[in-house]
Chain A
Amino acid sequence: MATSARKSTESQAATGTAGKMVNAWRAPTHDGEPNEAATKPLEWSLIAWIYQFTNPHAPKRNRLFAFVVLRSIQLPLMAWTLGRVIEGPVSHGSATGLAWGVAGYLALAAFTNGTLHFRQRLALELGESVVQDLRNAIFAHLQELRMSFFNRTKLGRIISRTTSDVEAVRAGIQDVFFVSIVGSGQIIGAGLLMALYDLPLFLVVSLLAPVLWCVNLVFRKRLSQVHREVHESFSRITSSLAESVNGIEVTQSFVRQDVNAERFSDLIDDHSQYTLKAARTSGSFLPLLEFNNQIFLALLLAVGGYRVLSPDIQMPIGSLIQFFFLANILFQPIQALGEQYNAALTAMAGAERIRELLQTEPDWQDAPREDSGITQGNDIAGRVRFENVGFEYDAGVPVLHEVSFAAEPGQTIALVGHTGSGKTSIINLVAKFYLPTAGRVLIDEADMRALPNRQLHKHLGIVLQQNFLFSGTVRDNIRVGRPDADEVAVRDAVAKLDCLDLIEALPRGFDTEVGENGCNLSLGQRQLLCFARAMLADPRILILDEATSSIDILTEARLQHALAKLLAGRTAFVIAHRLSTIRHADLVLVLANGRIVQRGTHNQLVSQPGTYRELYEQFIQATAA
């Protein structure tokens, strides 16, 4: 009832349980960039922005408001009832009054706890609904963004938006807002009742409230500072550990165990110093709060006792007793409000980053469907022409100059050149991952800008070096390009590559799980899957960046064979690493510093001195000399 052990049901109710999820997934912070701000001052426009996300759930939100207001009245009322029974019937010895009082108290308690059920459930549900909406909105928005966004944004950052930032906003919605309302209501209610009982005593004890608030503020700031230090020193431990585990072969073969152990022990010592500092800070904060309670009780006895005993004032003893009960209701929310204030700052920082992401415009707008030069449903022939194309990723740093060439339907174009010569940029432009900064890229003689992305990508297949696979089965991965393909079509695509036996040799054939990033498959198998994926999609235009890793010779032979099948009958752009691919190409474009320096077939090019000859000689020396 009164005195020392105060608990804050209101904030526990919401944060205590659902709050655990915040830690469920923590994005890696170790990406070498400055840490993102953990907090941000309150800002009205941002609050309004978050608030609008509750609009789709308005009925739930409005009911929640009603329950919250109700509860902020009920809580002071319960404390008052307790005090009232003790100062009234108990003090005056009225047994019937006591019975009525207890019955009233029980009824009020039942009512209050019924309210609590709805208040809690609605808040949690509202928080989760908004969080889900936000996550889906972020994800859908990401699909709209262009490749340049993904090149300049680290994966860890994007993940933080949908995990820790969204969780911070959740706390803002489900707790901060409503807990603050209940808390403020409690303070006002209890304060009013106390002032009614005895104004001077109320004024004296309420002097403690600002003290409490300041202690809170100072310590929370310091606590979050030391916690950040603890967290940082801890992530140094984890990253050192990760290195040790990933590099265990190197460590053991170079007999480095003792040196590593020493370094690690330095790190954990360092970390424990921060932990001790954190313990020292929180170890003085909580006792200070507790001490503040004791000061309050002592004040109440000294001042209240004086007012009761002084013949001039004669405050009724009942009022003093009421003060003991109401004080809890008055002081307890102060600490809770401090917590909420901090949570609000964190929510602001998270919301700001989410808003920034959601308001990031795609670098260029996609062509509207009706404008497309190629009407929907019509197949394209697959003629690709570059007309004086210039391109820069960063303004002022051109990577392609005046590139012009034409690929006739069904031709294979091999792109050859050193790293950084512009091969990948050409491929990026064919795929419309970027738009040229000068000149035009034409598909079937229509400017690609006028072709909506979805329409183009329906006719496009892409196989890149990384051979990216999604977690799921082999079949799922082959079907990426045509999700509606049936079993026959999937098998057929693999059979066309003459590789059915290789897939069937996998532990569970087409049902084999590939694991995250395809780690259960060998390099060759991974590439084969990507070929099959492109084969099934049966695109008019194919983009291929050959794998650079050497694969054992026999598998390599199979892949070469499959590749020839895949390229047949399509316009293909290949960043070629294999001599056989280059030899079979209809056109070899030799690139240097963003320009086409030579063009022709392999046989033509190899017979004339120039960049191609040099590359070729180097290549032969490396592979077969």
Chain B
Amino acid sequence: MSHADPIAEPSADLSNAALVRRMLALAWKYRFGCLQIIALQGVLLVLSVVGLTMLGTAIDVIRHAAVAGSPSPNFPFGWTPPSEWTPYRVALVAAGTVLVVGLVRALFSFWLAIVVARVVQLGIVVALRSLVYDKLQRLGFRFFDRHTTGSIINRVTGDVQSVRLFVDGVVIPVIMVLLSLVLYFVYMLRLHVGLTLACLATMPVTWLLSVRFSRKVRPAYERNRDLVDRMVLTLTENVRGVHVVKGFGREPEEIAKFDQASGAVRTQQHWIFEQVSRYTPTVEMLSSLNQAVLLGYGGWLVIQGALPLGGGLIVFSGLLQQFSSQVTRVAGIINSVQQSLTGARRVFEIVDAPVEISSPASPVRLPKIAGELVFENVSFGYDPTKPVLRNVSLTIKPGQCVALVGATGAGKTSLLSLIPRFYDPTAGRVLLDGVDLRQFELDELRRSIGVVFQESFLFSDTIAANIAFGRPDATPEQVEAAARIASADEFICEYPQGYETKLREGGSNLSGGQRQRLAIARALLLSPPILLMDDPTAAVDPRTEHEILDAMQSAMQGRTTIVVAHRLSMLRRADLVLVLDDGEIVDQGTHEELMHRPGPYRKAARIQVDFNEPEPLERAS
């Protein structure tokens, strides 16, 4: 099931406009949290302007008192200190206000950080991840065929973060930037119109530069990631293939290969460095230019008496700095929009993906499944234009053991995967006890089928939990009983912790034969009327093969079994052997029957006999 042929993407509307609409809807769902965030940020904004104004006023007060002939201060917020107050007392009150405002701001900032984390990380991200994960597990295998593990993992981790970025990196900041720009702008205009306009003249340039810069450099960073990945791949292969490298004396070529990969990273980095080291000083210079304008024009206005020094010039410079940091945020917001669109497309692709295989509205329920399987003119292809099964018809009686043989790619695994409905046929139908598989409740159907794969995936959990994977509520006795039938009990008990032994990721602390026996036990615990085994000895040492064969033998008792097999020992035991070639059943019968007629089966079996058939031991001894 590793076909990676591209098939039609889900047809749902994933245009930018649709994505933005959906993400806005997401933000709307969390509107109370968002409003709280905006309100808090608004308070912080006002507080910072208040603090700044108090500072400027205080400077004016001190200057007025200390320097003869300097202008008297303008008191802000309609507040005038009582006339009996000394200038120093006014300055102290201002200092106190700055301190109190600072403390309140610190508290509010803390509160804000918590609210943001709650809304975003505890709210949106958790909800989205659960949603995506849940859907992921129900998707048909076509989806998994089409995407790599890494890309799927990224959808639940990174891409979900990109989607939430739309809320706290786009929607909220846009509102805040607009609010604060208006506030600053109005405040600055109130101080002096001409100065405001003069100082803001460079803003559009800065903004354009930063947008252009990130647009220019971002693809270069992406390319850089690819180059670094390639370099790491060279290293990984070198270490994993160390036998080949050393065995063929390939070290010098490998060093040259790595030098080249590492040099490619460096060369490309240099271009980025050049861009970065041009951009930063330019933006810095623009900001210096701004300050020069403020200093020149503003200073002249102070000299003319049109602007107070503290409450005017110094406050202005503070506001200007905050204004320009808001403007540079816009470039960040634009990047966030791009990032969240990309992420949203990948997340919603999963959320919208049709669950290709699902249960019907009113499923058929059978009191007991006997296990008769009928294929009626079944055709199937992972890519509908390239069928891997063609017009397959066959009948398997309850309790029969059927072996499938054929070359790689003949369609054996595909045929098996239609029975638990991992895929549905593109034409024809598969019947279980006379009922189309599609009419059963999907979960019930799958629970009545035990599957053993070529290489069985085990989870990093205890042995017991792995066996009880399909029935987490099974008693220890049931687990042990299943393990005994699968001849796994013996080796499990050799571990000091027995059934409670923890498996490493992928069960890597077990041998291939042990893994397969656990997989058989896992399938048996379901006591399924149907058992499917996809060449369970494929990845196992021939000398330990017989251990699995015994387990397989006892597992088959009393069940309809379909097994993909190569070995004559298994083929001889089957009630029916189906020979598949290029998606078609080209021959069927018992081993004996097939051996009596010419055909691919006899040819293949003879080759195997040639290689492995023992010379009679009587003669040898």
Q: Is the CB of A129 within 8 A of B266?
A: yes
Q: Is the CB of A553 within 8 A of B604?
A: yes
Point out the residues of chain B lying under 8 angstroms from A617, CB to CB. Answer: 617
Given A255-B443, A302-B91, is A317 in contact with B63 using a C-beta cutoff of 8 Å?
Answer: yes
Q: Is the CB of A9 within 8 A of B102?
A: no
Judged by a CB distance under 8 angstroms, whether B242 is at the interface is yes
Q: Is the CB of B248 within 8 A of A293?
A: no
Given A95-B303, A419-B541, is A18 in contact with B248 using a C-beta cutoff of 8 Å?
Answer: no
Judged by a CB distance under 8 angstroms, whether A395 is at the interface is no
Q: Which of B269-277, B424-432, B585-593 contacts A (4 or more CB under 8 A)?
A: B269-277
Given A132-B266, A246-B149, A552-B566, is A124 in contact with B276 using a C-beta cutoff of 8 Å?
Answer: yes
The secondary-structure label for the interface of chain A is helix
Q: Is the CB of A580 within 8 A of B95?
A: no
Judged by a CB distance under 8 angstroms, whether B130 is at the interface is yes
Q: Is the CB of A549 within 8 A of B538?
A: yes
Point out the residues of chain A lying under 8 angstroms from B112, CB to CB. Answer: 283
Point out the residues of chain A lying under 8 angstroms from B274, CB to CB. Answer: 121
* Chain B residue, CB-CB nearest to A17: B276
* Chain B residue, CB-CB nearest to A477: B244
Judged by a CB distance under 8 angstroms, whether B212 is at the interface is no
Q: Is the CB of B105 within 8 A of A287?
A: yes
Q: Is the CB of A245 within 8 A of B144?
A: yes
Q: Is the CB of B106 within 8 A of A279?
A: no
Judged by a CB distance under 8 angstroms, whether B607 is at the interface is yes
Judged by a CB distance under 8 angstroms, whether A53 is at the interface is no
Point out the residues of chain B lying under 8 angstroms from A577, CB to CB. Answer: 541-543
Point out the residues of chain B lying under 8 angstroms from A196, CB to CB. Answer: none
Q: Is the CB of B505 within 8 A of A30?
A: yes
Point out the residues of chain A lying under 8 angstroms from B228, CB to CB. Answer: 21, 24-25, 163
Judged by a CB distance under 8 angstroms, whether A253 is at the interface is yes
Q: Is the CB of B284 within 8 A of A113?
A: yes
Given A17-B272, A298-B102, A301-B98, is A623 in contact with B470 using a C-beta cutoff of 8 Å?
Answer: no
Q: Is the CB of A261 within 8 A of B137?
A: yes
Point out the residues of chain A lying under 8 angstroms from B136, CB to CB. Answer: 244-245
Q: Is the CB of B539 within 8 A of A554?
A: no
Complexed CA–CA distance, A577 and B543 (Å): 8
Complexed CA–CA distance, A557 and B294 (Å): 87
Most chain-B CB neighbours within 10 Å: which of A12, A109, A144, A548? Answer: A548
Judged by a CB distance under 8 angstroms, whether A622 is at the interface is yes
Given A116-B281, A245-B149, A553-B566, is A480 in contact with B309 using a C-beta cutoff of 8 Å?
Answer: no
* Chain B residue, CB-CB nearest to A302: B95
Contact flags A149-163 to B (C-beta < 8 A → 1, else 0): 010000100110011
Could you tell me the distance in whole angstroms from the C-beta of A85 to the nearest C-beta in chain B? 6
Point out the residues of chain A lying under 8 angstroms from B30, CB to CB. Answer: none
* Chain B residue, CB-CB nearest to A457: B249
Contact flags B527-559 to A (C-beta < 8 A → 1, else 0): 000000001011111110110010000000000
A-B contact count (CB 8 A): 523
Complexed CA–CA distance, A518 and B407 (Å): 19
Q: From the candidates A132, A279, A282, A533, name the one contacting B262 in the complex (CB within 8 A).
A: A132
Complexed CA–CA distance, A246 and B150 (Å): 10
Complexed CA–CA distance, A269 and B122 (Å): 8
Contact flags A468-481 to B (C-beta < 8 A → 1, else 0): 11110000000011
Point out the residues of chain B lying under 8 angstroms from A109, CB to CB. Answer: 285, 288-289, 291-292
Q: Is the CB of A4 within 8 A of B137?
A: no
Judged by a CB distance under 8 angstroms, whether A294 is at the interface is yes
Point out the residues of chain B lying under 8 angstroms from A189, CB to CB. Answer: none
Could you tell me the distance in whole angstroms from the C-beta of A325 to the nearest C-beta in chain B? 10
Judged by a CB distance under 8 angstroms, whether A620 is at the interface is yes
Judged by a CB distance under 8 angstroms, whether A367 is at the interface is no
Point out the residues of chain A lying under 8 angstroms from B479, CB to CB. Answer: none
Point out the residues of chain B lying under 8 angstroms from A95, CB to CB. Answer: 300, 303
Number of chain B interface residues as a range: 35 or more
Judged by a CB distance under 8 angstroms, whether A110 is at the interface is yes
Contact flags A234-269 to B (C-beta < 8 A → 1, else 0): 100111011111111111111111011100110011
Judged by a CB distance under 8 angstroms, whether A431 is at the interface is yes
Point out the residues of chain B lying under 8 angstroms from A85, CB to CB. Answer: 295, 299
Q: Is the CB of A255 within 8 A of B277?
A: no
Q: Is the CB of A320 within 8 A of B62?
A: yes
Q: Is the CB of B138 within 8 A of A522?
A: no
Point out the residues of chain B lying under 8 angstroms from A1, CB to CB. Answer: 291, 294, 314, 317-318, 320-321
Contact flags B1-35 to A (C-beta < 8 A → 1, else 0): 11000000000000000000000000000000000
Could you tell me the distance in whole angstroms from the C-beta of A115 to the nearest C-beta in chain B? 8
Judged by a CB distance under 8 angstroms, whether A407 is at the interface is no
Residues of chain A in range 92-147 having any CB-CB distance to chain B below 8 Å:
93-95, 98-99, 101-102, 105-106, 109-110, 112-114, 116-118, 120-121, 124-125, 128-129, 132, 135-136, 139-140, 142-144, 147
Q: Is the CB of A460 within 8 A of B248?
A: yes
Number of interface residues of A (CB under 8 A): 181
* Chain A residue, CB-CB nearest to B607: A557
Could you tell me the distance in whole angstroms from the C-beta of B218 to the nearest C-beta in chain A? 10
Judged by a CB distance under 8 angstroms, whether B459 is at the interface is yes
Q: Is the CB of A548 within 8 A of B540?
A: yes
Residues of chain B in range 235-258 having any CB-CB distance to chain A below 8 Å:
235-251, 253-255, 258
Q: Is the CB of A249 within 8 A of B408?
A: no
Given A1-B321, A579-B612, is A462 in contact with B247 using a C-beta cutoff of 8 Å?
Answer: yes
Given A242-B153, A276-B118, A308-B66, is A128 in contact with B246 using a C-beta cutoff of 8 Å?
Answer: no
Judged by a CB distance under 8 angstroms, whether A295 is at the interface is yes
Judged by a CB distance under 8 angstroms, whether B172 is at the interface is no
Point out the residues of chain B lying under 8 angstroms from A480, CB to CB. Answer: 244, 248, 250
Judged by a CB distance under 8 angstroms, whether A537 is at the interface is yes
Q: Is the CB of A98 within 8 A of B296?
A: yes
Judged by a CB distance under 8 angstroms, whether B229 is at the interface is yes
Q: From the candidates A20, A283, A618, name the one contacting B114 in the complex (CB within 8 A).
A: A283
Judged by a CB distance under 8 angstroms, whether A578 is at the interface is yes
* Chain B residue, CB-CB nearest to A134: B262
Could you tell me the distance in whole angstroms from the C-beta of B111 to the nearest C-beta in chain A? 8
* Chain B residue, CB-CB nearest to A281: B113
Point out the residues of chain B lying under 8 angstroms from A7, CB to CB. Answer: 325
Q: Is the CB of B114 within 8 A of A280?
A: yes
Judged by a CB distance under 8 angstroms, whether A2 is at the interface is yes
Point out the residues of chain B lying under 8 angstroms from A25, CB to CB. Answer: 225, 228-229, 232
Q: Is the CB of B608 within 8 A of A298?
A: no
Judged by a CB distance under 8 angstroms, whether A286 is at the interface is yes
Q: Is the CB of B504 within 8 A of A113?
A: no
Point out the residues of chain B lying under 8 angstroms from A419, CB to CB. Answer: 541, 543
Judged by a CB distance under 8 angstroms, whether A288 is at the interface is yes
Judged by a CB distance under 8 angstroms, whether B125 is at the interface is yes
Complexed CA–CA distance, A78 and B125 (Å): 45
Given A1-B291, A287-B110, A622-B543, is A294 in contact with B99 using a C-beta cutoff of 8 Å?
Answer: yes
Contact flags A335-346 to B (C-beta < 8 A → 1, else 0): 000000000000
Point out the residues of chain B lying under 8 angstroms from A461, CB to CB. Answer: 247-248
Most chain-B CB neighbours within 10 Å: which of A113, A280, A456? Answer: A113
Q: From the candidates A86, A113, A468, name the one contacting B309 in the complex (CB within 8 A).
A: A86
Judged by a CB distance under 8 angstroms, whether A619 is at the interface is yes
Q: Is the CB of B296 within 8 A of A253?
A: no
Q: Which of B76-84, B337-345, B387-395, B450-458 contacts A (4 or more CB under 8 A)?
A: B450-458
* Chain A residue, CB-CB nearest to B88: A309
Q: Is the CB of B243 within 8 A of A464?
A: yes
Q: Is the CB of A471 within 8 A of B237?
A: yes
Q: Is the CB of A102 within 8 A of B48?
A: no
Could you tell me the distance in whole angstroms from the C-beta of A346 to the nearest C-beta in chain B? 19
Question: Could you give 13 example pairs across A and B, Cβ below 8 Å?
Answer: A24-B225, A121-B276, A135-B262, A142-B238, A234-B157, A243-B459, A247-B459, A275-B122, A276-B122, A283-B114, A305-B88, A317-B62, A555-B407
Give 7 nearest A-B pairs by CB, closest first. A294-B102, A283-B113, A457-B249, A462-B247, A254-B470, A279-B117, A109-B288
Other than the known A9-B280, A245-B144, A622-B546, what 15 A-B pairs have Cβ atoms closer than 8 Å? A4-B51, A17-B272, A18-B273, A105-B291, A109-B291, A120-B273, A128-B269, A142-B238, A247-B457, A272-B126, A284-B113, A294-B51, A553-B604, A623-B567, A624-B569
